[in-house]
Chains A and B, each alone.
Chain A
């Protein structure tokens, strides 16, 4: 059965952007990579995938990984500037600071996870099911639940620890 790529695009683009944002931490770049993933999928000469969404996330994940490697090679140190541009302008500076700190806490909590645990958790959050997550991560379907259980626990623990640390600074 042919895939209705227009519908896949409309229903999956937002999820793909959110998934990529948790990897590159730049909203504009996440949007660009999501669009790139769809372009590559449409232009590909590979056989019709059994799961178009899972395939898209696989392409997107590879693009994000290539992006990260390229950034390391170029030794770009634009994190602070990117953070400035990533947040929509808010009237309340305190609110903006709080939003930025919240995002940084999530980012550091995610960094506390193992790579595969983090990938599985982000894929689940993006709407993929266990079969798709297993295919993308190389896990057996039976191990996805255990992986997600561990990832969730580790994420919550790391986030709580960061909040305690933040609170102790006053």
Chain B
């Protein structure tokens, strides 16, 4: 019988397995007590590592306003004489001429970054970086906790042989 190697178990814990790969591993874990034990050990290891890293967090500093970052980017683009697609924003999405950019940058330097919140820079289509409010790690933990709860009540049945999922190392 092939079992899940450490890499596969950690990929499972991290929510990195999808579709058929995830189904295969889930089915194997539901029937293999040995791999379930190793999965729990891997989860403990992951949690220990997370806790260690959390012990080295930077001092909380205020985030600079985005307008200030935009102003610096405009200045950098002008200095390098580069066309900057990300700064080609304006009414109706038309490109802004270099003269306008130069004028705008001068005004900004003179009066500060606060002007940029008022229509000069139009935000493009919003990108839902976190559509459901959960990070990748939070989703993975929720999926793992749900699985562990289900596995605890699974009947003892001979597990299917675990073949190497596409793109992952074959279990040893």
Question: Is B14 a contact of A130 with CB atoms below 8 Å?
Answer: yes
Closest to B140 in A: A129
A96-151 contacts to B (CB < 8 Å): 102-103, 105-107, 109, 121-122, 124-125, 127-130, 140-151
**Pick from B42, B48, B57, B63: contact of A18, CB under 8 Å:** B57
**Pick from A39, A52, A148: contact of B73, CB under 8 Å:** A39
Contacts of B124 in A (CB 8 A): 2-5
A interface SS class: helix
Q: How far is the CA of A45 from the CA of B69 in the complex (A)?
A: 16
Q: How far is the CA of A155 from the CA of B16 in the complex (A)?
A: 21
Q: Quick one: CB contact mask for B32-62 with A, threshold 8 Å, 1 for yes?
A: 0000000000100110111011011111010
**Pick from A8, A109, A122, A144: contact of B11, CB under 8 Å:** A144
Question: Is B127 a contact of A3 with CB atoms below 8 Å?
Answer: yes
B residues neighboring A (CB under 8 Å): 5-12, 14, 16, 42, 45-46, 48-50, 52-53, 55-59, 61, 63-64, 66, 69-70, 72-74, 76-77, 80, 82-87, 123-127, 129-130, 135-137, 167-169
List the 6 shortest-distance A-B pairs measured between CB atoms, nearest first.
A146-B7, A145-B11, A42-B73, A2-B124, A106-B56, A21-B58
A residues neighboring B (CB under 8 Å): 1-14, 17-18, 21-22, 27-28, 30-31, 35, 38-45, 47-48, 52-53, 86-88, 102-103, 105-107, 109, 121-122, 124-125, 127-130, 140-153, 155-156, 159
